[in-house]
Amino acid sequence: MPIHQHFLLHKPYKYLSQFINNQTRRKNKNLLGELHDFPEGIMSIGRLDEDSEGLLLLTTDGLESQRVRSKKVEKEYYVQVDGLMTEAAIEKLKRGLTISIHGKEYKTLPCKASLLKNEPAFKPRTRKIRAAAHGPTSWASITLTEGKFRQVRKMTAVVGYPTLRLVRIRIGEIRLGEMEAGDVMEVSRFKLS
């Protein structure tokens, strides 16, 4: 039986969730392999888009990847949005709403969502979000059991609050904690519940 390796990674802003670049239009992009000397056969479990940050799990075990991606495992995101998000918008997010996935309508599953009273203590991004003169922003927590393409961004846009910054802080019981952008930690297994 092969011995597999598992890692936690704080994916930085402007990195692709992949190890090799096989597309010419994505030349000169930052890849995860630049952050650490990972073993052969490593894969990211799920993805975070290039503009998103936060917790990403990596493994050499395909079965472990399936377990993490199941709808039994919660994924929590802190999202900074344009404007002061209302409780009415939070309620719409919780109930599920219709977004577009690859040109087709998709109804999201009900989820957990709440406004954050205090701004999270994340370090500033390498590129500024935007000037304060453009108006207020607010933060919310959104917890999903699914992970469609750019789902959180599409959900906040549908309720009228475009996403400015998105950070995944938790997968199951695994938390981003004090890890900083680019940090990698090897673990013996993923504790999901």
Active site residue 49: yes
pLDDT tens by residue, 50-103: 999 999 999 999 999 999 988 899 999 999 999 999 999 999 999 999 999 999
pLDDT tens by residue, 127-155: 777 766 678 999 999 999 998 889 999 99
Task: Provide the pLDDT for residue 185.
Answer: 97
Neighbouring C-beta atoms of residue 102, cutoff 10 Å: 7
Give the mean model confidence (pLDDT) for residues 145-171.
96
For 31, residues 6+ apart whose C-beta sits below 8 A from its C-beta are: 15, 16, 18, 19, 20, 21
Domains of the chain: 6-70+174-187 (3.30.70.580), 75-171 (3.30.70.1560)
pLDDT tens by residue, 25-42: 657 789 999 999 999 999
pLDDT tens by residue, 119-133: 999 988 877 777 666
DSSP helix/strand/coil, 17: coil
Catalytically annotated residue among 37, 49, 61, 183? 49
Task: Provide the pLDDT for residue 22.
Answer: 63
Neighbouring C-beta atoms of residue 35, cutoff 10 Å: 18
Task: Provide the pLDDT for residue 45.
Answer: 93
pLDDT tens by residue, 84-95: 999 999 999 999
**What backbone phi and psi angles, to 5 degrees, belong to 17?**
-85, 55
Determine the Cα–Cα distance for residues 72 and 146; give it in Å rounded to an integer: 9
DSSP helix/strand/coil, 19: coil
Position with higher pLDDT, 131 vs 115 = 115
Please, which pLDDT band fits residue 191 given cuts at 50, 70 and 90? confident
Instruction: Reply yes or no on whether the pLDDT at 111 is more than 90.
Output: yes
